[in-house]
Each structure stands twice: as C-alpha cells, then as structure tokens.
C-alpha cells in the first residue's frame, strides 16, 4: 500500500492497515458523539445550577466561609448563625 494511493483500501487485495483505518474512523465517530453528549449534559447541568441558585428562596441564616494563609498551609473555617 502506498501512502499516496487513496484507492488502496478499495482494491481487491486490502492491506491490514485498511482494517485499522476503518476501526479508527469508527472510533472517531463514536467518540465525537460521546463528547457532544457530554458537552450538552454539562450545559444542561450548568443551567440547572444557575436556575436553582436564582430561584431558591434565600435563607435567614448567615453562612461564612473563610480561607486564610498560615505559616504552613491554609486555614479553612466555616460557620453558620441561626
């Protein structure tokens, strides 16, 4: 099979690389479908998060989260007031 012969895989004597090429093209198609579905799913999830955040009734409670640097590492504190 020559690299410049586009009709080599249509010939009667198909080289082994033609089967690998067909498998790779099938994988590309199915992986593209999976990527598209994942992208749409992420968009729907983001829209649901924003909608919930905007429409959820606010709480009377105060929540505080603080992240402060320490000598070694970080100090994370969370608190809620009723």
Phi, psi (degrees; rounded to nearest 5) at 7: -95, 15
Q: Hey, CA dihedral for 51, 53, 48, 35, is it positive or negative?
A: positive
- Whole-structure pTM value: 0.49
- Region 15-36: mean pLDDT is 87
Number of residues written out for the chain: 82
pLDDT-derived band at 20, boundaries 50, 70, 90? confident
Neighbours of 18 (CB within 10 A): 15
Could you state, in order of their start, the residue ranges of all structural domains in the chain? 9-81
Beta strands in 1-82 (DSSP E): 62-69, 74-81
Q: Which of 2-16, 18-32, 42-56 has the highest mean pLDDT?
A: 42-56
């Amino acid at each position: 099979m020559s690299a410049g012969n586009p009709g080599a895989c249509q010939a009667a004597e198909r080289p082994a690389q033609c089967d690998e090429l067909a498998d790779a093209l099938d994988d590309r198609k199915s992986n593209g479908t999976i990527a598209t579905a994942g992208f749409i799913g992420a968009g729907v999830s983001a829209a649901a998060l924003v909608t919930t955040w905007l429409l959820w009734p606010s709480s009377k409670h105060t929540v505080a989260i603080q992240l402060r640097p320490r000598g070694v590492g970080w100090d994370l504190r969370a608190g809620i007031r009723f």
